[in-house]
Structure formats: C-alpha cells, structure tokens
Amino acid sequence: MHGGLLYTAIQPIKSVYRHKKSYIYCNQAVFCDIISVVHKSKSEDTAMNIRKAKAADIDAIEKIYDDIHTAEESGEQTTGWIRGVYPVRATAEAGLRRGDLYVMEDGGRLLGSAMINDIQVDVYKDGKWEYEAADDEVCVLHTLVISPCAKGRGCGRAFLKFYEDHALQHGCHELRIDTNERNTVARAMYKKHGYKEIGIVPTVFNGIPDVMLVMLEKRI
C-alpha cells in the first residue's frame, strides 16, 4: 500500500484549524486515536473527525476508491492506480483486520481514509534514507484517499497532521511515505509539509506493473 493522495484538486487552503485530541482504550491491547479537526471559513463551520475504522465503513471507503478510479479514467487526476487492481475493497478490509485503518468523517459522511502502521514496503530497503531508525521507530502512511466531493477542504493536510501526532504518541520520530512518480499533486503536498524525496525506484506495486515509486521521509 502507499500513501498516494488521491484527488488532484485537493489544495491547502488558508483556514484556521484547531486540533483537539482525546484517547480511549477499545480493549486491553488496542489503543484508539480520535482527533477532532475544526475547519472555520467565512461561509461555514465544519467539524471533521478522524477515528479508527469500523466494519460499517468499508462500503463508503470502497465508494471513495471507485470515485478516484473514475476520476483517473476520465483524466481528471493522475494517481497511477488501476481499478480492480489497487486500491480495492480488499485493501480496506485488510487494514480493518490489522486495526490500522482510519477514516475521516463529517456529520457521519466519510470523506477519506488511510492506513497508519510500521509496515515498510519491500523496496524501502533500497532507499537512501537520511535517518537511520529501527523498525519500531518508523511510522508509515499508506493509501491516503480523499473523496473528490471533499475538494478544497484541507482534508489531506488534516490527515497528515493526524498521522504525525499518531506517530509521536507511539514514540515514532521517523515518518516514511511513498507515492507514484506520476502523482505530482501528492508529491507537491508532501514536500510542502516537510517530507523529502529520498529516491525513486522501479517496482511492481500491489499488482500494478512498471511503477516508479517515490519514497519520502520526515523527521519529527
């Protein structure tokens, strides 16, 4: 999986965000993160929450995947992803089983999702990382998706902030992300928020052939 931002029209906006954190224990072993992101603009006040995904969220996540594939096929965006190959419903289901799938919602409607864990893609071993870190000190963002209907609301930026807070709360200071070389919008957003491209490697990525995978890192 990789953290390619989905929708080309997502752009950082000049807004004020307040991040409010609270934490709950789902059971003795699982630590759940909830972050409330309050977006204030001149025209509306919108509260967005990022939380652990539930089984009931899978249909909505699959719909976001499908909408992104449709935008890709129509030429409205470029992610390098392929319908029926990646991402698919099984991508979200795997994250749900592992317990590392998160969703962003607004008034009960899902706007995006991503997976946050310590799973490094195989080709990461070929990366010339600036910072050495043990596996348990690395936090990776995978399959960041934002619904096209959430265009212009800063959802990608909010998810990155949540990811970074999550990493720090779990003692991880080395952040690693990857995306397709063709996904120039995601690359620009990551760079703007302090992520450095450390290499581009050829690979077969989740069944997609001939991918030039961009690896990025940030130390926090």
Q: What is the residue extent of each domain of the chain?
A: 52-219
Residue 2 amino acid letter: H
Q: Which residue has the higher pLDDT, 43 or 142?
A: 142
Q: What is the DSSP letter of 82?
A: B
For the ranges 4-8, 156-160, 176-180, 194-198, the lowest mean pLDDT is seen at 4-8
**Burial of 171: CB neighbours in 10 Å, binned 0-12, 13-18, 19+:** exposed
Q: Which residue has the higher pLDDT, 18 or 111?
A: 111
Give the helix ranges, DSSP H, for the chain: 58-73, 89-98, 155-169, 184-192
pLDDT surpasses 50 at 145: yes
Per-residue pLDDT at 26:
30
pTM above threshold 0.85:
no
Q: Measuring CA to CA, which residue among 175, 147, 186, 181 is closest to residue 12?
A: 186
Mean pLDDT score across all residues of the chain: 83
- The pLDDT of 165-192, averaged and rounded, is 96
For the ranges 40-49, 58-67, 86-95, 208-217, the lowest mean pLDDT is seen at 40-49
Per-residue pLDDT at 2:
52
Per-residue pLDDT at 104:
97
Per-residue pLDDT at 152:
82
- The pLDDT of 116-132, averaged and rounded, is 94
Percentage of residues of the chain with pLDDT beyond 70? 79
Per-residue pLDDT at 188:
95
Per-residue pLDDT at 151:
80
Is CATH 3.40.630.30 the classification given to domain 52-219? Answer: yes
Respond yes or no on whether the N-terminal peptide bond of residue 87 is cis (omega within 30° of 0). yes
Per-residue pLDDT at 3:
53
SS3 string of 144-165? EEECHHHCCCCHHHHHHHHHHH
Residue-wise pLDDT tens digits, 1-59: 455 544 333 333 333 333 333 322 233 223 333 333 433 333 333 468 999 999 999 99
